[in-house]
Chains A and B, each alone.
Chain A
Amino acid sequence: MAKDMLLPKDPRYLKYPLEGPFDEEKARWTAFNCSRCSVCKWVDSWRVKSAKYARICPQHTKFMYDSHSAQGKCDLALALIDGKMKWDEDPEIKDILFQCTMCGGCDAMDKSVRDAELIKMYRWLRTEYVKRFGPLPEHKGMLDSLKQYDNVWVQPRVKRNSWVKDLKDLGIKDLNKDKADVLLFVGCTYGLSDELKGTVVNMAKILKKLGVDFGTLGDKEMCCGSPPSKTGNMGEFERLGKANIKKFNELGVKTILTPCAGCYGTIRVEYEELGEKMNFEVLHVTEYIERLTKEKKIEYKKEIPISVTWHDPCHMGRMGRPYVPGKDLEGVYEEPRNILKNIPGVELVEMERIKEYAWCCGGGGGAFTGFKDFAQWTAQQRLEEAKDTGADILVTSCPWCETNLRAGGIGMEEKMEIVDIFDLMMEAL
């Protein structure tokens, strides 16, 4: 063969275009190179364990039409970019683009056969949609809250600090005044939800038991920017992201710890898009605890005879690492499992769909606030899968997953208790 025939003449085929912002050209590349293989709709074939739990995409499973799959969104993107369809031609464009939990299931499965980033394409599509028509009415309240309070839950800033006030004797530092190497970034949902307040308290106590010198930003903490980033409101994402990076750098902390999967994935992966230098590492609290317990064993005092199943939050797993073509889609998978296995009496039983091929809880991508029925239907599918394991409880570590799974479980006949990993740990301590 002649030398000039060795490689494709268009270098874009040689290498996935990673450099630079994800723009229209990259979106078109991603859409055009969809081969309609349907990998995006199913759990990787080697990981399918039953007919019942073979699906990966909540949107496609629920709405069935191929337009509501990654393949359909590639078709739609191509039509919109090439001018074959107008953005205002069909009101259902909104549902196709936004009635999706942005869980990354399709994106992960797709990466088994090609180099592409579907979630980045979805975010680009949503951003373009919002540029033309403004934020979705369903997301308007969340955005107004961010602008006014820097959180998504329409809560006053001072409330963020309420859980720390009860723990004065623990010596949790206020990093607005004090210095520490570790910043605990609690996130809007853990920080402001009355229901989840106890979990944050337990987590802080565990960190202290392990001797961690950490502090918080108290009422100065701002949203990580995940909700606007996922719902096409990039201006708001940039405002929050850049402010957070600046703050973290100014504090001089070495490590940002967060118990929230959404914050974790956003800070770790999406902040890279902002082009700011970040002088810190980002860890999920379970990662950090597992790292510490390799050196210093946690002494559990109580046995908890219970079987548990672990739900992998999308943003801790397949969405929690920057994409490098050819490299494993790693995530925080083993750390929480190791923690659970070490709690005396706890038996871990796995669901069929786990790790990068886990079924989403339904709460992400703006679905929780914008499309409740769909979000809760997705949760019910997950709860049914959890029940099929025979486990007594479902354990996870994401406030969005916990809240949405609980909401989804309300209408179900057989209940499944949802427990945060830090609450379970604390019970044994």
Chain B
Amino acid sequence: MENISRHEKHNEIFRAFESALGKGNVKDNPATVNAYFGDWLPPKILGQSIPPEFVVLPNGTMETQTVVRICNRYKLPFVPVGSNQWSLSTAPTLPGTVIIDSKRMKELIEIDEDNMFAVIEPYLTVAQLHAEANKRGLYIGSPEASAQSSALAGHTFQGLWGVAYRLGVAFRNVLGMEWVLPDGEILRTGTFSMDPDCGYWGKGPGPDLRGMMRGYCGALGGIGMITKMAVKLHPYPGPKVWPAEGHIPNMTTTMPKDRFHWELIKFDDLEGAANYMYEVGKAEIGGVVQKWPTVYYNWWWANSNEEYWTEWQKRTFQDNVKHTVGTCLWGFTSDEQLKYEKRVLEDIIKDTGGRRVKQEIYDMWIPRAANNWIRDTNGSRMMRPAGTFLALTLASDTIRSSVNLVKEGYKRVEKFSPPILDCDGPDWIGTYDFSHFGFAETDFPVEKTPEDIGDLMGKLLGMVKEDLQNNVECGIGPFLGGPYHGMAGPVFKYDKLLKGIKRAIDPNLVSNPPHNIPMED
């Protein structure tokens, strides 16, 4: 092998892929691979990513296994991709990278209505699954990254969709999995381990292996490729077809009033909002409970860039929704449940000193934007005002700690503005699992220039390192994947475990290195 030229080796690998997948299902030409090294944020803009050497389209678990084995044989790094949307870690950084594109694995294999689960492949989107589930009176959550993302990939990542407050964040909804490990072995978890056609139960013999692919931000492709997953579905009191009205970009949605009810409740400060969120959770009511920053109101609402900046200068949302919590009550079982929850919420509003936002603001926001937290379609509007957005702080902890965290975030935003643009208090606090935990993030528009993004990324990395030196996990780090775990693992003493797992399942270190942890030693 050593004696053959690089070109001959390339051709040999190409033939190996083509022989396994069929003609047309592997490509290496510049115009094709050029579409696979961009990213929504820094790597391409900062010149850190390079085009892959091959893009392959396997169809199903067995073909994926063959691809992974070829990658191991030639020691080629591979990157599994789902919808390739807003990719955080799929831009190759190493020469010879193989993109395993899941386009041919696009099926909704099964919906079991009685047992309320679906079996899905990686290129099925949340919107597709959502639509099929809705027809059957069932529901699956939708991330704020928009429902055109891969439902399977979303379940391996954060999965903090709006109704996760009630139904559990996405990774809690994972049942059985069929998984091609980095060395090409096939791992079936849950009941798939006993019957490859039945994945209704998440656990199986031995330890629960779902933890391997989860973590705060998933494994970012560092532990192989999941080719089939069973996910929980939940009862849904909404219509069988999503009730959208109007034309792009000015679409609205009004959910049935007897089963859904939105409230926008304003408080004097963040602490007031946090108290309210705790009380709603303790009362075990509601489907969505979110404290959005004012930029979110404007981002999701504006139908054009000009409308965004015009409305921003008028301060329509800044002056009216500061410290406001959006709550959507769901009558899961009946309209009586909704009536009950409304009464309980009324008491909570009174007890916590909340007050409703102006009706005109409610009427602006709810039909056009709020229901994105039930099925998102406008999440990508976050990019419009300036070209992109960034977050400086981010964490999952208690609601109370989220409040503290976003306040720290304010200071950083002030410190680094500009290039951070005017964004008011960029304090997103989502609450999940009936307020058992809070998720905080500071999001703001940033001009999409290499200088500004490079500058901010440098500061962000510096902050992460500083936090780690102080034994603090700031939350944004895990989004960096492997490099973060390389730094944080020794601090929090989990590096040996991650490396042990990586060594056992990825002996040739081919699965999207350096994720999930770098193995230089």
**A residues with CB within 8 A of B:** 1, 5-10, 13-16, 32-39, 41-51, 54, 64-67, 69, 71-72, 75-76, 79, 84-85, 89-90, 92-93, 96, 108-109, 111-115, 325-330, 355-357
Contact = CB atoms under 8 A, between A and B. Distances in A.
B322 interface: no
Nearest to A330: B247
A10 B447 contact: yes
B40 A36 contact: yes
Given A38-B148, A44-B244, A50-B132, 14 more contacts: A1-B417, A8-B385, A14-B309, A35-B383, A36-B39, A41-B148, A45-B148, A50-B135, A65-B103, A72-B34, A93-B31, A111-B249, A112-B378, A328-B246
A6 B306 contact: no
Interface string B422-438: 10000000000000000
Interface stretch (B65-73, B123-131, B396-404): B123-131
Given A35-B383, A36-B85, A64-B57, A75 B38 contact: yes
Nearest to A328: B247
A37 B35 contact: no
B387 to A, nearest CB: 6
A84 to B, nearest CB: 8
B387 A49 contact: no
Contacts of A45: 125-127, 130, 142, 146-148, 375-377
B32 interface: yes
A64 B346 CA distance: 51
A254 B381 CA distance: 41
Contacts of A76: 31, 34-35
B447 A66 contact: no
Contact of B131 (A34, A49, A356): A49
- Nearest 3 CB-CB pairings of A with B: A326-B304, A37-B380, A72-B35
Interface in B66-104: 83-87, 101, 103-104
A45 B146 CA distance: 8
B1 interface: no
B158 interface: no
A89 B303 CA distance: 39
B57 A51 contact: no
A360 B80 CA distance: 31
B146 A37 contact: yes
B291 to A, nearest CB: 21
Given A66-B101, A113-B378, A75 B35 contact: yes
A42 B108 CA distance: 16
A49 B241 contact: yes
B421 interface: yes
B244 A46 contact: yes
A109 B103 CA distance: 20
Contacts of B417: 1, 5
A37 B251 CA distance: 19
B146 A39 contact: yes
Given A46-B242, A75-B34, A329 B247 contact: yes
A9 B386 CA distance: 10
A112 B249 contact: yes
Contacts of B381: 113-114
A187 to B, nearest CB: 26
B512 interface: no
- Considering residues B31, B33, B388, which has the most beta carbons from chain A within 10 angstroms of its beta carbon? B31
Contacts of A72: 34-35
A5 B248 contact: no
B383 A48 contact: no
Contact of A64 (B103, B250, B375): B103
B30 A35 contact: no
A1 B422 CA distance: 7
Contacts of A93: 31
B27 interface: yes
Contacts of B11: none
Determine the interface band of chain B, counting residues with CB < 8 A from chain A: 35 or more
A329 B248 CA distance: 6
Contacts of B87: 36
A117 to B, nearest CB: 13
Interface of B: 27, 29-36, 38-40, 55, 57, 83-87, 101, 103-104, 108, 124-132, 135, 142, 145-149, 241-242, 244, 246-251, 253, 302-307, 309, 312-313, 375-381, 383-388, 417-418, 421-422, 445, 447-449
A317 to B, nearest CB: 10
A331 B30 CA distance: 38
Nearest to A54: B128
A50 B135 CA distance: 9
A316 to B, nearest CB: 14
Contacts of A327: 250, 303
Given A6-B313, A67-B31, A75-B34, A112 B248 contact: yes
A265 to B, nearest CB: 17
A16 B244 CA distance: 27
12 contacts: A1-B422, A13-B385, A38-B149, A39-B146, A46-B377, A48-B242, A64-B57, A65-B35, A111-B248, A111-B249, A114-B381, A115-B384
A71 B148 CA distance: 14
Contacts of B250: 326-328
A13 B447 CA distance: 8
Nearest to A14: B309
A13 B306 CA distance: 9
A71 B29 CA distance: 17
A34 B387 CA distance: 8
Contacts of B421: 5-8
Contacts of B124: 51
B127 A69 contact: no
B248 A92 contact: no
B448 A92 contact: no
A325 B375 contact: no
Contacts of A44: 244, 248, 251, 377
A355 B246 CA distance: 11
Contact of A47 (B36, B242, B386): B242
B380 A114 contact: yes
B313 A65 contact: no
B305 A38 contact: no
Nearest to A47: B244
Given A42-B148, A45-B377, A92 B125 contact: no
A43 B242 CA distance: 13
A92 B422 CA distance: 44
Nearest to A326: B304
A329 B135 CA distance: 28
A326 B29 CA distance: 38
Contact of A5 (B40, B131, B418): B418
A48 B387 contact: no
Nearest to A92: B31
Nearest to A89: B30
Nearest to B447: A8
A89 B32 CA distance: 12
B148 A35 contact: no
A9 B385 CA distance: 12
Contact of A42 (B127, B246, B253): B127
A355 to B, nearest CB: 7
B251 to A, nearest CB: 6
Nearest to A64: B103
Given A8-B386, A38-B84, A38-B148, A355 B247 contact: yes
A115 B31 contact: no
Contacts of B128: 48, 50-51, 54
Nearest to A38: B85
